[in-house]
Amino acid sequence: MAVRELQKFLFLKLKTQRLKLAATQARQSIAVILTEETIEQDLDQLEEMLKGNFKTLKEFVGVLREYRQAKPGAESALSILDEALKVQLSAPATSDSANSSTEMDVLASDNEAFTEQADPTEKGYKDYRQK
């Protein structure tokens, strides 16, 4: 579960960064509606451009919200991984501890599920979210 949280957070961070540039450009082009200057563009063309820009801004705000909500979960997941690695590194290698179920076993099985199901593309993330 920890690995999945980190993968989700990474996807959201990358998407937020990608959309930020497009949102900034959209915001600059929308500024034309707040000026007192006469709009010299074809109105139909301007309307289509603004619709696309509003869509871009809406998508950016939605992804940014998801990113901010996912951050505490990612930080928690990272703490779990750090703790599991610390326990694993400090534990003596005995036959009893090798046979017992540890957090590392859980993480390993989680990682196997991640490897089988992970798709770093947007489509893969949408499929992941539906599960």
Phi, psi of 108 (to 5 degrees): -65, -45
The burial of 5, by beta-carbon neighbours within 10 Å (0-12 exposed, 13-18 middle, 19 or more buried), is given as buried
Q: How is the chain split into domains, by residue range?
A: 2-124
Instruction: Give the predicted TM-score (pTM) of the model.
Output: 0.58
Residue found by looking up tokens 């949408």 in the block: 126
| Residue 43, H or E segment | helix 43-90
Q: Which of 23, 92, 95, 78 is nearest to 52 (CA)?
A: 23
Instruction: Identify whether the C-beta of residue 107 lies closer than 8 Å to the C-beta of residue 101.
Output: no
Region 61-75 average pLDDT: 95
pLDDT in tens, 83-124: 888 877 766 655 444 444 455 455 555 545 444 444 444 454
